[in-house]
């Protein structure tokens, strides 16, 4: 945007004479009202073009009233300035880059999103993974499924015995035990004597980080059977795609055969697990967008995995030499 025009629009933002939009953002006690001009917002963002259409807009006394409680006032101030001036000001250390990325993605401000994404990838400390993720490190005599029960969303990371291959999967739902009560998103599978419970989601995926130069991201292709709750095994991704089938101490067997996901993440169909970790996504805003982020840039999961696992191992070795279950974040 031309610099002189940018300055003029900035003044209009500071003194919104002739405004016809009130945007209320944040949640109590941090709520703020912004005054803006629909002509500018609708021309700069398809999101606002749809939101302010006659079909969706709420108008009171000639003013469009728009509520966005899921975006904080500081974050929206940054995005509103961009809409008026074309300037992205994200130098404020008190504003989370993750919050800006999520909000800009929702408001379809893709230039902002791309710049923030680049910063997140360049500066791994900027997104403070401990604010987003709880890590569990497990010993070989710990039942992986017992640890995962009740957790969600989660990333399961597996190291294959004798090969060093790193594979895993992301489950946006909770891992649960089999119950007689049906979940509204799932149904019982009748073909299996273990009464496996089939759960529907379009946001799960499995992956391989074995070759970091050519990682594999396998999206779910059959969302009706994306996640399986198993009575005598687990976790299970798809009907056969990545199943922990045996949970005996020191002999944890996993099977993988392409069925419900787009690609295989390991060439073998049966293998032993040497090590495994479970990461729980504790920031719900992040879990909502993790699938979209990882689809756009698989480098993100590589950075996340390398950084978090190295952090987990180093801290666990110092504080927990017996290598029992470790919860590293509250």
Other C-beta atoms closer than 10 Å to the C-beta of 321 total 8
- Does 36 share its domain with 70? yes
Distance CA 133, CA 120 (A): 16
Together in a domain, 207 and 86: no
Last residue of a domain, which of 108, 127, 146? Answer: 127
* Pairing of the two strands 251-255 and 242-248: antiparallel
| End-of-domain residue from the set 107, 127, 147 | 127
Whether pLDDT at 25 is above 90: yes
Question: 195 and 157, same structural domain?
Answer: yes
Q: Which of 64, 66, 92, 63 is nearest to 77 (CA)?
A: 92
**Looking at the structure, do residues 301 and 171 belong to the same domain, yes or no?**
yes
Shared-domain flag, residues 90 and 165: no
pTM of structure: 0.54
Number of domains composing the chain: 2
10 Å CB burial of residue 180 (0-12, 13-18, 19+) is: exposed
The pLDDT tens digits for 39-73 are 999 999 999 999 998 888 899 999 999 999 989 99
Min mean pLDDT across 94-98, 130-134, 163-167, 302-306 is at 130-134
Residues 40, 103: one domain? yes
Same domain, 78 and 191: no
H and E: helices and strands count for the chain:
9, 17
Q: Please tell me the distance from the alpha carbon of residue 295 to that of residue 244, in angstroms, as a whole number.
A: 25
**Same domain, yes or no: 82 and 142:** no
Distance CA 251, CA 89 (A): 53
CATH number at residue 8: 3.30.710.10
Residues 271 and 162 in one domain: yes
- 112 and 142, same domain (yes or no): no
pLDDT, tens only, 218-257:
989 998 999 987 766 768 899 889 988 766 666 788 899 9
Range(s) of the domain holding residue 32: 3-127
| CA atoms 249, 241, 312, 96: torsion sign | negative
Which tens digits make up the pLDDT trace of 99-154? Answer: 888 889 889 898 998 888 777 766 655 555 544 445 455 444 455 555 566 666 88
Q: Which of 100-109, 163-172, 221-230, 294-303 has the lowest mean pLDDT?
A: 294-303
Looking at 74, 97, 127, which one is the last position of a domain? 127
Tens-place pLDDT, residues 8-19: 666 777 777 788
Let me know if 241 is exposed, middle or buried by CB neighbors in 10 A (0-12, 13-18, 19+).
buried
């Amino acid at each position: 945007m031309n610099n002189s025009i940018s300055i003029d629009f900035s003044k209009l933002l500071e003194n919104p004479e002739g405004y016809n939009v009130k945007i209320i953002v944040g949640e109590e006690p941090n709520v703020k009202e912004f005054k803006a001009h629909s002509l500018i917002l609708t021309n700069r963002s398809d999101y606002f073009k749809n939101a302010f259409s006659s079909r969706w807009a709420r108008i009171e006394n000639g003013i469009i009233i728009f509520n966005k409680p899921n975006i904080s006032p500081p974050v929206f101030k940054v995005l509103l300035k961009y809409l008026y001036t074309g300037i992205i000001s994200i130098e404020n250390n008190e504003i989370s880059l993750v919050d800006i990325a999520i909000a800009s993605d929702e408001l379809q401000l893709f230039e902002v999103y791309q710049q923030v994404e680049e910063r997140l990838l360049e500066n791994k400390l900027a997104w403070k993974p401990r604010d987003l993720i709880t890590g569990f490190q497990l010993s070989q005599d710990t039942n992986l499924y017992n640890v995962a029960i009740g957790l969600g969303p989660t990333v399961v990371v597996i190291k294959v015995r004798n090969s060093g291959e790193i594979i895993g999967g992301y489950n946006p739902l909770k891992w649960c035990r089999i119950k007689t009560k049906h979940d509204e998103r799932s149904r019982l599978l009748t073909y299996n004597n273990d009464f496996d419970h089939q759960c529907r989601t379009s946001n799960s995926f499995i992956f391989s980080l074995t070759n970091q130069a050519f990682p594999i991201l396998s999206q779910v292709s059959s969302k009706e059977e994306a996640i399986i709750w198993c009575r005598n095994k687990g976790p299970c991704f798809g009907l056969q795609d990545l199943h922990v089938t045996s949970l005996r101490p020191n002999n944890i067997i996993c099977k993988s055969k392409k069925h419900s996901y787009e690609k295989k993440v390991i060439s073998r169909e049966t293998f032993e697990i040497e090590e495994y970790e479970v990461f729980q996504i504790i920031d719900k805003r992040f879990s909502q967008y993790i699938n979209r982020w990882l689809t756009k840039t698989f480098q993100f999961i590589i950075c996340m995995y390398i950084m978090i696992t190295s952090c987990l191992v180093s801290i666990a070795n110092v504080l927990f030499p017996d290598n029992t279950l470790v919860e590293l974040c509250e």
